[in-house]
Amino acid sequence: MNFVRLLPVILSLIVLAAHFLRAGLLPLTLILLALIALLALRRPWVARLTQLTLVVGAFEWLRTAVFYILTRQRLDMPWGRLALILGTVVVITLASALVFQSHALRERYGLD
């Protein structure tokens, strides 16, 4: 059941890893994939590191959204759908960090 609870976290990390892979940043991609594997460890620092990574990742998505929105505005291209999609990715990534506040995951990672 904990796998289901961690699914938003895992998916958010995979999407963030894909973002960095597309940018040619293989080391960051590998670090994010390794973090997924670390979720198997029942240690408080794993949960906190993952939460921090997701919050920083949400800011990366926000930075990316602003960059592409401004670029599209300068080119007089539509940007509303882009803003909606990347805004949703930001919210989902931030919400994934909150998964560790559930009772079951707090207990699993010793956060109580």
pTM of the model: 0.93
Cα 75 to its chain centre, rounded Å, is: 29
Residue 112 is predicted with a pLDDT of 81
Residue 78 is predicted with a pLDDT of 97
Domain ranges of the chain: 2-108
Residue 10 has pLDDT above 90, yes or no: yes
pLDDT tens column, 19-46: 999 999 999 999 999 999 999 999 999 9
Rounded CA gap, 65 and 42, in Å? 34
Residue 108 has pLDDT above 90, yes or no: yes
Residue 1 has pLDDT above 90, yes or no: no
Rounded CA gap, 54 and 104, in Å? 19
Rounded CA gap, 112 and 38, in Å? 20
Residue 111 is predicted with a pLDDT of 93
Average pLDDT over residues 68-97: 98
Which of 1-5, 6-10, 99-103 is predicted with the least confidence, judged by mean pLDDT? Answer: 1-5
Q: Across the chain, what does the average pLDDT equal?
A: 97
What b/e readout covers 48-76, taking b as 16+ CB neighbours within 10 angstroms? Answer: eebbebbeebbebbbeebeeebeebeeee
